[in-house]
Amino acid sequence: MELNHKYVSGISKYKYLLFVLVVSTAFFCGCSVQYRFTGATTQGLKTVSVQYFQNRAPVVQPGLSQYITDAIIDKCKAQTNLKYTTSTGDANFEGEISDYNTRPLTVAADAQAASNRFTISVRVKYTNSFDPELSFDQTFSRYEDYSSSLDLSAVEKDLSDKIVEMIVEDIFNQAFVNWK
């Protein structure tokens, strides 16, 4: 890079480059830019509440209600600037676990199940008091397949964790991420 000596006027090229680098660094470090990659839109909302999700599935798994309720609360706290409240918030989630089952998915040549599908479904009623058009009442369902050679009790915890994480992500996206 050629430096025009009439601008440098007596100081070495290296000192000039160092000076430009320091000034540039100070300028850019003094600026603060925040990016949020969640895509969450909470315009007009100040508080969020999550009511306890009752387990109304034919098969009741102890602790699942609390786990899902806590997972939704944690997601909202981590990815929005909304204040959590135990009373009804500007954004309110309520609902129930409507299904928790496993069933054969594919059958091998010997008429035995080769794989099984484990499914959890959660019905959610979301109320947005600022913009009621964004409110919804919807069932979210996810599944994971596993080998029939495995006992459900051996894989249930890991599969439940994965499924609940996906369902909570779906619920959060439906409520706060409006890709239109």
Nearest CA to 56 among 10, 149, 123, 129? 123
pLDDT more than 90, % of the chain: 67
- Beta strand 83-84 with 54-55 is unpaired
- Residue 85: phi, psi to the nearest 5? -135, 150
Asked if the model's pLDDT at residue 113 lies above 80, the reply is no
| Residues 27, 141: Cα–Cα separation, whole Å | 50
pLDDT at 21 > cutoff 70? no
What's the whole-model pTM score? 0.75
- Structural tokens at position 95: 């609902």
In tens, the pLDDT along 85-96 reads 999 999 999 999
Q: Band the pLDDT of 157: cuts 50, 70, 90.
A: very high
pLDDT tens per residue across span 35-74 = 344 467 788 999 999 999 999 999 999 999 999 999 999 9
Alpha helices (runs of H) in the chain, residue ranges in sequence order: 5-8, 13-30, 64-79, 152-176
